[in-house]
Amino acid sequence: MKISEFQHLMKELYFHQDNERGIQDTFIWLIEEVGELARIIKKREIDKKKASEELADIIAWANSLANLLSIDLETVLFEKYPNKCLKCDSNPCKCENLRNKLQD
């Protein structure tokens, strides 16, 4: 599934509720999901099933927020991350290698 298809699905399923909730409260839901993932990751043994569920929730809430803000996530993601690092212009990123060389 493409990012745009998932964003459209979230809009189709939840836009009415998200719109009633509003941008700020939708953002709070997103942050709550991030907090839930943080609690899972803090544990000595990470439950990957629970972590994957929280990651899916985070992506869903981020898409809902983008819908409320009329932001096309697929477009802005590929503008911001155009298959290369924006700092070193490489794929994979070589910034860490540059930092290590500068420290030597």
pTM equals 0.84
Find out if CATH 3.10.450.350 is the number for domain 3-103. Answer: no
- The pLDDT score that the predictor gives to residue 12 is 98
Residue with tokens 């000595």: 44
Asked whether the beta carbons of 85 and 35 are under 8 A apart, the reply is no
CA 49 to each of CA 41, 46, 82, 103: distance values in angstroms, whole numbers, following the listed order: 12, 9, 30, 40
- The pLDDT score that the predictor gives to residue 96 is 74
pLDDT tens series, the chain, 104 aa: 999 999 999 999 999 999 999 999 999 999 999 999 999 999 999 999 999 999 999 999 999 999 999 999 999 999 999 999 988 999 999 987 655 555 55
Asked whether the beta carbons of 60 and 37 are under 8 A apart, the reply is no
In 1-104, which residue ranges form alpha helices assigned H by DSSP?
A: 3-21, 23-42, 48-68, 73-80, 95-103
